[in-house]
Chain A
Amino acid sequence: MCGIAGVVDFDAALVAPELLHRMVGMIRHRGPDASGVYTDGPVGSGGAVGLAHARLSIIDLSGGQQPMPNGDRSLWITFNGEIFNYIELREELIRKGYQFATNSDTEVILHMYEDKGEECVRYFNGQWAFAIWDAKRRRLFLSRDRVGVRPLFYAQQSGAFVFASEIKSLLAHPAVERVIDLEALDQVFTFWHAVPPRTMFKGVSELAPGHSMAVEDGKVRIWPYWRLEYSNIRHQMGEEECAGRLLELLSDATRIRLRSDVPVGAYLSGGLDSSVITALIKQCSETRLKTFSVTFEDAEFDESAYQRDVVDFLGTDHQAVRCSHGDISGAFPEVIRHTEKPILRTAPAPLYLLSRLVRQHGYKVVLTGEGSDEFLGGYDIFKEAKIRRFWAADLRSRCRPLLLKRLYPYLQNLQAQSDAYLKAFFRVDAAALSSPFFSHLPRWDLTVRLKVFFSAAVMDEVRHADRYGELKKLLPSGYPQWDGFSQAQHLESTGLLPGYILSSQGDRMAMAHSVEGRFPFLDHRVVEFAATIPPRLKMKVLNEKYILKRAAGRLIPPSVRRRPKQPYRAPDARSFFDPLTGTARHAYVDELLSRARIQKDGLFNPLAVQKLVDKARKGRVIGAKDNMALVGILSTQLLVDQFVTNTERIASDAGN
Chain B
Amino acid sequence: MPEIEQEIRQFIVDNFLFGDKESGFSNDDSFLDREIIDSTGVLELVAFLEERYRIRIKDSELVPENLDSISCLIRFIDRKSRATD
Contacts and interface: CB of A to CB of B under 8 A. Distances in A.
A231 interface: no
B40 A608 contact: no
B14 interface: yes
Contacts of A624: 38, 40
A608 B19 contact: yes
B74 interface: no
A416 B67 CA distance: 14
Interface stretch (B1-9, B57-65, B76-84): B57-65
Interface in B29-56: 32, 35, 38-44
| Across the A-B interface, the 7 shortest Cβ-Cβ residue pairs | A623-B40, A608-B18, A607-B19, A611-B18, A418-B63, A413-B43, A413-B40
B20 interface: yes
A413 B39 contact: yes
B19 A611 contact: yes
A614 to B, nearest CB: 9
Given A416-B59, A449-B35, A612-B18, A421 B40 contact: no
Contacts of B38: 425, 446, 449, 623-625
A407 B32 CA distance: 22
Contacts of B19: 605, 607-608, 610-611
Contacts of A420: 63-65
B17 interface: yes
17 contacts: A411-B39, A417-B39, A420-B64, A420-B65, A421-B39, A424-B32, A424-B64, A425-B38, A446-B38, A452-B17, A452-B20, A453-B18, A456-B22, A608-B18, A608-B20, A624-B40, A625-B41
A143 to B, nearest CB: 42
Interface residues of B, number: 23
Contact of B42 (A421, A449, A452, A615): A421
A384 interface: no
Contacts of A612: 18
For this complex, into which size category does the number of interface residues on chain A fall?
Answer: 20 to 34
Contacts of A425: 38-39
A615 B16 CA distance: 11
Nearest to A626: B40
Contact of A605 (B20, B41, B63): B20
B36 to A, nearest CB: 9
A622 interface: yes
A624 B15 CA distance: 14
Nearest to A625: B38
Secondary structure of the A contact surface, majority rule: helix
Contacts of A605: 18-20
Interface in A205-234: none
Given A445-B35, A449-B35, A449-B38, A416 B17 contact: no
A12 interface: no
Interface of B: 14-15, 17-20, 22-23, 32, 35, 38-44, 59-60, 62-65
A414 interface: yes
A418 B20 contact: no
A417 B44 CA distance: 12
Nearest to B21: A607
B18 A452 contact: yes
Given A420-B65, A424-B64, A607-B19, 9 more contacts: A414-B39, A417-B62, A418-B60, A424-B32, A425-B38, A452-B17, A453-B18, A605-B19, A608-B19
Interface in A434-453: 445-446, 448-449, 452-453
A414 B35 CA distance: 17
Contact of A623 (B23, B39, B63): B39
Nearest to B16: A452
A623 B42 CA distance: 10
Nearest to B15: A615
A607 B39 contact: no
A632 to B, nearest CB: 13
Interface string A621-647: 011111000000000000000000000
A622 B40 contact: yes
A451 B38 CA distance: 14
A526 B42 CA distance: 43
Nearest to B62: A418
A416 B59 CA distance: 6
A605 B13 CA distance: 14
A360 to B, nearest CB: 39
Contacts of A413: 39-40, 42-43
B29 to A, nearest CB: 14
A622 B23 CA distance: 24
A414 B43 CA distance: 9
Contacts of B65: 420
B39 to A, nearest CB: 5
Contacts of B23: 452
Nearest to B32: A424
A607 B18 CA distance: 7
A625 B16 CA distance: 10
Contacts of A416: 43, 59, 62
A421 B15 contact: no
A414 B41 CA distance: 11
Contacts of A452: 17-18, 20, 23
Nearest to A424: B32
Interface string A345-374: 000000000000000000000000000000
Nearest to B58: A416
Contacts of B17: 452, 608
Given A421-B64, A611-B19, A623 B59 contact: no
A326 to B, nearest CB: 25
Nearest to A623: B40
A576 to B, nearest CB: 17
A411 to B, nearest CB: 8
A389 B65 CA distance: 25
Given A452-B20, A605-B18, A611-B14, A625 B40 contact: yes
